[in-house]
């Protein structure tokens, strides 16, 4: 999907000279009327604008002629400037979704919050959940979002919907991850929203952990190791 999007954008960018922020946005809107352009801002590099499309970031020359996708690195500080921006975008997207559309496990004493894209049938997702008490003991709040990798209509997807529709979602999720039977039912649910957000975040596997700042920690991490990452992330 992203390759097709980028190809369409590149094809559309043989455009006029002397573009500015407003005209770049107008040109993008004309070329890609159905693409959500969140913002167009000057980057730290003179003559280059950063364009926030959904939860992705691309760069455009100030004459509107060239578009490129990739990582902008500060070679002196060795800082990934693109990742810093994307972290902020992820943070806003998660806040916009809201905790009322997540399944939350709260510790007695709260020190950190993570957002975890999970698949009920994923082995490492189950391992992480089986160690849930160790995360809570470290003060880490777990906010779950569903990402059934097999897609809509799969067994994993149907289980995710059933968990959300259960009277006690937390208990149902734990049962499902233990491969225990749960009542298969449907209701209004945010599973498709979770999956769309996962696609925007370019989730490639589960579990995928995202910090409060929007930093991604792909894969399973034991509680103490995750805690060290979260402490460093807050600095």
Q: What are the DSSP calls for 192-215, one per residue?
A: HHHHHHHHHTT--SS-EEEETT--
pTM value is: 0.79
Tens digit of pLDDT for each residue in 96-142?
999 999 999 999 999 999 999 999 999 999 999 999 999 999 999 99
Cα angle vertex 20, ends 17, 25, to 5°?
105
> Given 121, 125, 126, 165, which residue is catalytic?
125
Residue 15: its pLDDT value, please? 42
Tens digit of pLDDT for each residue in 161-191?
999 999 999 999 999 999 999 999 999 999 9
Distance CA 10, CA 42 (A): 19
> Given 90, 122, 126, 165, which residue is catalytic?
122
Known catalytic residue: 119? yes
Contact 148, 194 (CB under 8 A): no
Is the preceding omega at residue 207 within 30 degrees of 0, hence cis?
A: yes
Tens digit of pLDDT for each residue in 35-45?
777 888 888 88
Domains of the chain, start order? 2-79 (3.10.450.70), 101-234 (3.40.30.10)
> Given 56, 62, 90, 119, which residue is catalytic?
119
Going by pLDDT thresholds of 50, 70 and 90, the confidence category of residue 13 is very low
């Amino acid at each position: 999907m992203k390759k097709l999007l980028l190809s369409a954008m590149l094809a559309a960018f043989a455009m006029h000279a002397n573009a500015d922020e407003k005209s770049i946005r107008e040109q993008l809107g004309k070329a890609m009327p159905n693409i959500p352009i969140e913002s167009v801002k000057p980057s730290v590099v003179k003559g280059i604008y950063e364009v926030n499309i959904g939860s992705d970031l691309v760069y455009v020359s100030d004459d509107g002629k060239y578009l490129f996708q990739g990582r902008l690195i500060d070679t002196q500080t060795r800082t990934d400037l693109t990742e810093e921006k994307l972290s902020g975008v992820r943070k806003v997207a998660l806040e916009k979704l809201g905790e009322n559309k997540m399944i939350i496990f709260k510790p007695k004493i709260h020190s950190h919050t993570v957002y975890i894209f999970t698949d009920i049938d994923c082995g490492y997702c189950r391992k992480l959940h089986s160690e849930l008490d160790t995360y809570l003991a470290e003060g880490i709040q777990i906010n779950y979002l569903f990402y059934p990798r097999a897609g809509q209509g799969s067994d994993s997807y149907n289980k995710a919907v059933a968990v959300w529709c259960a009277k006690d979602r937390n208990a149902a999720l734990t049962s499902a991850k233990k491969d225990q039977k749960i009542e298969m039912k449907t209701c209004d649910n945010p599973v498709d929203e979770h999956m769309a957000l996962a696609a925007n975040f370019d989730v490639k596997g589960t579990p995928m952990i995202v910090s409060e700042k929007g930093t991604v920690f792909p894969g399973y991490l034991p509680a103490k190791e995750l805690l060290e990452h979260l402490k460093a992330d807050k600095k």
